[in-house]
Amino acid sequence: MFKRDDYIVGIASILIGIFIIIQSAGLKVKTSLDPAGPEALPVIVAWGMIIIGIIHLIGAWYANKALGERTSSPSIKQKIEDYKSVVAMVVISLAYAGLMEILGYLILTPLLIGSILWVVNMRDLKKICKISIAMTAILYVVFAFGLQVDFPLGFIEELL
């Protein structure tokens, strides 16, 4: 389950969790019906990330102990292959965030979900389309109607 390099994920997860906790401390609202306040959810997620990071560190330590020290370091080509999907997801996510105001949630979210499914090696286009559209619809209904969140609709908003 764990790889020998999972300690990198663990350290990154812990550092991001700490950063979120520090940044959430400034989220104060003078009037709120929620007794926990706006910083509660980010802090809960951050603590979850820290716990996952610790689990990754422990798992990587046991994996290194069980497998012994690495006999040869991987080549540059192997390192690039290992991180290609991570880089692709980061680029996809940045494009999603950058184009959200222009194209809107309803167009970009199925493309985001479909792209991520493609990056993780799902190649059945019918299944990708079904999952992408269904998840976009479910998330839209939950957030727009259930939680009253306004989504950016991009150019579709001008047509309405």
**Do residue 43 and residue 83 come from a single domain?**
no
Mean pLDDT for the chain overall: 81
* pLDDT classification of 33: cutoffs 50, 70, 90: low
What's the rounded Cα separation, in Å, for the pair 91 and 146?
A: 30
What's the rounded Cα separation, in Å, for the pair 124 and 8?
A: 32
Q: Give the pair of three-digit tokens for residue 133.
A: 């559209």
**Do residue 80 and residue 143 come from a single domain?**
yes
For residue 69, pLDDT over 60 is answered with no
**Do residue 67 and residue 80 come from a single domain?**
no
Query: Please, are residues 1 and 59 in contact by the beta-carbon 8 Å criterion?
Result: yes
Query: Please, are residues 113 and 131 in contact by the beta-carbon 8 Å criterion?
Result: yes
**Do residue 54 and residue 108 come from a single domain?**
no
**Do residue 43 and residue 92 come from a single domain?**
no
Between 23 and 130, residue with greater pLDDT: 130
pLDDT for 84? 83
For residue 81, pLDDT over 80 is answered with no
**Do residue 66 and residue 80 come from a single domain?**
no
Query: Please, are residues 131 and 117 in contact by the beta-carbon 8 Å criterion?
Result: yes
What's the rounded Cα separation, in Å, for the pair 119 and 45?
A: 25
Angle at 45 between CA 145 and CA 115, to 5 degrees: 65
**Do residue 87 and residue 44 come from a single domain?**
no
**Do residue 82 and residue 156 come from a single domain?**
yes
**Do residue 92 and residue 149 come from a single domain?**
yes
**Do residue 89 and residue 140 come from a single domain?**
yes
pLDDT for 130? 96
* Least reliable range by pLDDT among 14-28, 40-54, 59-73: 59-73
**Do residue 137 and residue 157 come from a single domain?**
yes
Domain that holds residue 155: 75-160
**Do residue 111 and residue 96 come from a single domain?**
yes
What's the rounded Cα separation, in Å, for the pair 123 and 120?
A: 9
**Number of domains the chain contains:** 2
Give the C-alpha distances (Å, rounded to integers) separating 24 from 35, 58, 74, 149: 15, 27, 39, 20
